[in-house]
Amino acid sequence: MNLTLKIWRQKDAGSEGQMVDYKVTDISEHMSFLEMLDVLNEQLVNAGEQPVAFDHDCREGICGMCSLYINGEAHGPDRGITTCQLHMRMFKDGETITIEPFRASAFPVIKDLIVDRMAFERIQQAGGYISVNTSGNTQDANSLPISKHAADEAMDAAACIGCGACVATCKNSSAMLFVGAKVSQYALLPQGQIEAADRVKNMVAQMDLEGFGNCTNTGACEVECPKGISLDNIARMNRELMKANL
């Protein structure tokens, strides 16, 4: 395949960015999208130019590092995947592909297609944990039975990889799916219940402080989420918050 790529180039956080056109040729449909960008970068390096910076690491769809807004969709035109799992067979010969960073004021651009998702870190630090001593003197694991249903539901919420697609695709740049997933995991389990009220209040307060928008139940986040995290988690977070404020 031969393709035209329109890519956002931005030197650093303080510089202005712009779309730049590139051509790549002989792209195999078996390549992953990121391997196609590798080909472009090899081409740029051989010409002595700076390659396009983009985030990626495990390339197995689980670390949550890769991002990219491709043809107007977070992680591109396929469902239930991250960008590293997107393959070139989803595109046609001669196509023009637009590649932008995840855009949200809480995710400032670091360089080219790389954004800063530290806001997610600070939300987690505000209470996304159970205050247990890491001493190894905790009670025997089976002394705390948890129903299979609750454990499975907690696992579904915990499957969030923190990639930020939910924020990128939301018209309000809301982080509620991400925060809802984390709050839900702990709300569904007996551990850490004693601090549940503080947890949800602190995490939501930090989320607002970071400049994420509110949820208007559009549901775009659930559609674009690579791990199928459900909107139910947002509802649960809202219930937890109400309960905490009563």
246 makes contact with other proteins (CB under 8 A): no
Q: Which stretch binds other proteins (CB under 8 A): 94-102, 169-177, 187-195, 208-216?
A: 187-195
Among 2, 20, 121, 209, binds other proteins (CB under 8 A): 121
Sign of CA dihedral 195, 198, 201, 204: negative
Q: Which stretch binds other proteins (CB under 8 A): 26-34, 98-106, 207-215, 230-238?
A: 26-34
Smaller CB distance to other proteins: residue 18 or 142? 142
Which residue type occupies 19?
A: M
Smaller CB distance to other proteins: residue 90 or 244? 90
Total binding residues for other proteins by CB under 8 A? 80
Q: Residues 46-75 vs other proteins: string with x where CB under 8 A?
A: x-xxxx-x-xxxxxxxxxxx----------
Neighbour-count burial of 95, counting CB atoms closer than 10 A to its CB (0-12 exposed, 13-18 middle, 19+ buried): middle
Among 32, 71, 172, 238, binds other proteins (CB under 8 A): 32
- Cβ neighbour number for residue 114 with a 10 Å cutoff: 19
* DSSP label of 94: T
Of 102, 77, 81, the C-alpha closest to 91 is 77
Residue pair 35/60 in contact by the 8 Å Cβ criterion = no
132 makes contact with other proteins (CB under 8 A): yes
**Pairwise CA distance, residues 36 & 22, whole Å:** 12
2 makes contact with other proteins (CB under 8 A): no
230 makes contact with other proteins (CB under 8 A): no
Residue pair 154/229 in contact by the 8 Å Cβ criterion = no
Among 95, 116, 222, 232, binds other proteins (CB under 8 A): 116
